């Protein structure tokens, strides 16, 4: 897919925002296969640091919504509880994309065309087509949800005022969709979510000339045990660039996020082979890699929030005033 160019909008001298962003308990469950994802701290930091970096032109309710945005960072994990089978089975494939299985193929415009393509071209490796993953679609869908939330908030503020219950409801809709979007953008920044080699190198899918680790367990070691040891908010912030506004098709941006993350799969395995990702004795390069990936997720998320806000101004004009 063609990736649309971006336009920069620097934000200088902004103080840190008021966000307690405190940890909270999460539901206990045991994910398996490629549906593993950043641990709680990784998702919390992604949303929290995205919030710290938002431009001042975002609406006031959003600039005060840090606790809500951060508290929702792990919400999609709770949807995978065994006690919620319909929700679990519907959403579990939204957390990853096995990019190598799509080599030479463009992403169709919607999930259903994607499934037909995977099945028709035998890209599923003999499994159910959905297990290739649908992460880009989930990001694009939630981005459009958020854009609509902002547009409806603009309209309601204009017609009824900022304190009207309808307007306040749209505020909560926007915060919820923005927070949940953060989960998937965070997943996309985790290289093991963008590959068939999600928990040890799979030699049945690709040669292993560098003798990368094949033993399982790497996924949780990297994104949970290692993140818990070395994630550093100051280091994450140092790697977040000035805001950019995306224009065009959000599916293009989502695919590019996954492409970039996939490019870091081999470097991750090389770091693991050198012992840099050992949670008990992490190396300097491993520590830097973790914080750079968290920063990439936070930056991408901040830019999607910002872009949705800007795009919502034109979308408001397409809305009918409630009669």
Does residue 7 belong to any structural domain of this protein? no
Predicted confidence at residue 322, as pLDDT, reads: 84
Does residue 267 belong to any structural domain of this protein? yes
Does residue 161 belong to any structural domain of this protein? no
pLDDT digits (tens, 9 = 90+) for 161-171: 999 999 999 99
Four-residue CA torsion sign, 308, 133, 3, 190 = positive
Does residue 155 belong to any structural domain of this protein? no
Three-state DSSP at 245 gives: strand
pLDDT digits (tens, 9 = 90+) for 58-81: 999 999 999 999 999 999 999 999
State the residue range of the domain holding 68.
Answer: 39-143+179-316
Q: How far apart are CA 27 and CA 148, in angstroms?
A: 30
Residues of the chain below pLDDT 70: 1-38, 323
Q: How many H-runs (helices) and E-runs (strands) does the chain carry?
A: 14, 2
Does residue 139 belong to any structural domain of this protein? yes
CB 21 within 8 A of CB 67: yes
Does residue 151 belong to any structural domain of this protein? no
Cα-Cα end-to-end distance for the chain: 40
Does residue 126 belong to any structural domain of this protein? yes
**pTM for the full predicted model:** 0.89
**How many domains does the chain contain in total?**
1
Does residue 322 belong to any structural domain of this protein? no
Predicted confidence at residue 323, as pLDDT, reads: 66
Which residue intervals of 216-321 are DSSP H helices? 218-220, 227-230, 233-238, 250-262, 265-273, 284-316
CATH number at residue 139: 1.10.575
Predicted confidence at residue 7, as pLDDT, reads: 32
């Amino acid at each position: 897919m063609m990736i649309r160019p971006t336009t920069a909008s620097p934000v200088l001298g902004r103080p840190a925002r008021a966000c307690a962003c405190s940890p909270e308990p999460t539901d206990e469950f045991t994910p398996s296969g490629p549906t593993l994802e950043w641990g709680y701290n990784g998702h919390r930091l992604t949303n929290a640091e995205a919030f710290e970096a938002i431009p001042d032109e975002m609406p006031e309710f959003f600039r005060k919504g840090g606790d809500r945005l951060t508290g929702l960072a792990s919400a999609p994990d709770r949807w995978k509880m065994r006690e919620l089978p319909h929700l679990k089975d519907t959403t579990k494939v939204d957390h990853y994309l096995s990019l190598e299985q799509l080599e030479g193929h463009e992403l169709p415009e919607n999930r259903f065309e994607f499934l037909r393509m995977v099945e028709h071209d035998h890209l599923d490796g003999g499994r159910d087509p959905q297990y290739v993953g649908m992460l880009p679609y989930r990001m694009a869908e939630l981005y459009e949800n958020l854009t609509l939330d902002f547009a409806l908030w603009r309209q309601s503020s204009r017609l009824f005022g900022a304190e009207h219950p309808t307007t306040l409801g749209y505020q909560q809709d926007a915060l919820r969709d923005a927070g949940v979007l953060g989960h998937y953008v965070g997943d996309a920044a985790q290289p093991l979510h963008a590959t068939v080699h999600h928990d040890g190198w799979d030699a049945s899918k690709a040669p292993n000339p560098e003798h990368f680790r094949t033993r399982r367990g790497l996924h949780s070691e990297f994104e949970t045990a290692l993140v818990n040891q070395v994630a550093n908010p100051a280091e994450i912030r140092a790697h977040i660039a000035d805001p950019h506004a995306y224009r065009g098709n959000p599916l293009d941006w989502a695919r590019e996020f996954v492409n970039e993350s996939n490019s870091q799969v081999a470097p991750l395995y090389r770091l693991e082979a050198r012992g840099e990702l050992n949670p008990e004795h992490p190396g300097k390069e491993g520590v830097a890699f973790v914080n750079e990936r968290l920063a990439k997720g936070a930056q991408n998320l901040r830019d999607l929030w910002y872009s949705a806000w800007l795009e919502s101004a034109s979308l408001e004009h397409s809305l009918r005033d409630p009669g």
